[in-house]
Structure 1
Amino acid sequence: MFWRKLGIEFKPHKTGLSKVLGELEAEIMEIVWQHDRPVTVREVYEELRERRSIAYTTVMTIMSRLAEKELLQKTQESNYYLYSPVYSREEFTTKVVSLVLDGLLADFAQPVLSHLVEKIQDEDEEKLAQLEQLIRERRAKGGK
């Protein structure tokens, strides 16, 4: 299963993808997603090295682990590997959000739903109207 394979632990106090990945994993995934083509460890290392002090072998290890977790696809080209994302950033985000919400809803449905409605209402009254419309449409289709 996607969730177990990733070894995801939800960390709400972190920001961005670091909520579900290690900070370096998240940073590497962001770099890989920014490219429209497969990348080498060397390319990712060079970008990271501009931001921080880091060893090439550390980047190589993290990228290999991301491939083991099936977030990166690893393809051999002569004497090096190319890495490409298995999921787009949007697909990954959607999967993670679904998994987190499914887990919360399984045990805490009422507080989760109440909080979401309050949060949406506080943020944007138009979003609350969109939510109401989605509920009406779902009911009109028979509930599922």
Structure 2
Amino acid sequence: MQEEGVNRFLGSLESMIMELMWESGEWLNVQQLRESLKSEHVYSVNTIMTVLNRLSDKGILDKLASGRGRNKLAQFKVVATRQDFIMQQTRNVTEGLIKDFGEVVVAHMIDVVEELDPDLLRKVEQMLHEAKMRNSDENFKPS
């Protein structure tokens, strides 16, 4: 959790690959990604393929395989935009923290928001008000 951005959810090579995938938005194969990564580090085809398969297994990438044997080619494409991925991951983390620690997490979130961004605190208050209104509207249904 000490990392920043997407690295909070993925390993460093996974993050680099995902950034390239989001930037492209196209189906890419392991060789194309390896070429794009060369400027930073030299990774083996096997290493990149392992990471791509892992991202596919996690449901973050779609995988399309064609051919057989030595002619087999796998291509990968992102399942969701970067923004949608971050929204889903932050929701998963928040949900898990609230399930595990409830009020303590909410209290810390309010404290941190108050310290870092008082304007956001006002937005949170508005969101809470709207959520209460939705809840009261749902609970009040004339018979």
Taking structure 1 as the reference length, what is the TM-score of the superposition? 0.82
User: For residue 141 of structure 2, what is the aligned residue in structure 1?
Assistant: none
Choose the corresponding residue for 1:27, options 9, 13, 16.
Answer: 16
5 Å-filtered alignment, 1:53-64, equals 53-64=42-53
Between the aligned partners of 1:123 and 1:48, the Cα distance in structure 2 is: 35
Matched, 1:87 2:80: yes
Deviation digits for residues 109-136 of structure 1 (CA, Å, limit 9, x no counterpart): 2221111112111222211111111111
Give the SS at the match of 1:50.
coil
- SS for the counterpart of 2:102 is helix
Higher-Rg member (1/2): 2
CA distance, structure 2, for counterparts of residue 124 and residue 16 of structure 1: 18
Q: Structure 1 residue aligned with 2:118, among 112, 117, 125?
A: 125
Give deviations 1:79-121, integer Å, cap 9, x for gaps: 4222101122122211211111111111212221111112111
CA distance in 1, matches of 2:100, 2:19: 32
Q: CA deviation at 1:28?
A: 0.8
CA drift at 1:77: 5.0
SS at match of 2:65: strand
Q: TM-score, normalised by structure 2?
A: 0.82
Aligned length: 133
Gaps of 5+ in 1: 1-11
Once residues 25 and 54 of structure 2 are traced to their aligned partners in structure 1, the CA distance between those partners, rounded to angstroms, is: 21
Q: Evaluate the alpha carbon distance shift between residue 89 and residue 77 of structure 1 in structure 2; reply closer, same or farther with a 3 A threshold.
A: same
Match of residue 7 from structure 1: none
- Find the aligned partners of 2:133 and 2:57 in 1 and give their Cα distance: 43
- Residues 71-86 of structure 1 mapped to structure 2, 5 A cutoff: 71-76=60-65, 79=71, 80-86=73-79
- Identical columns (%): 27
Amino acid at match of 2:64: T
The alpha carbon displacement at 1:20 in A equals: 2.3
Structure 2: where are the runs of 5+ without partners? 139-143
- Secondary structure in structure 2 of the residue aligned to 1:70: coil
Separation in 2 of the partners of 1:40 and 1:138? 45
**Partner residue, 1:97:** 90
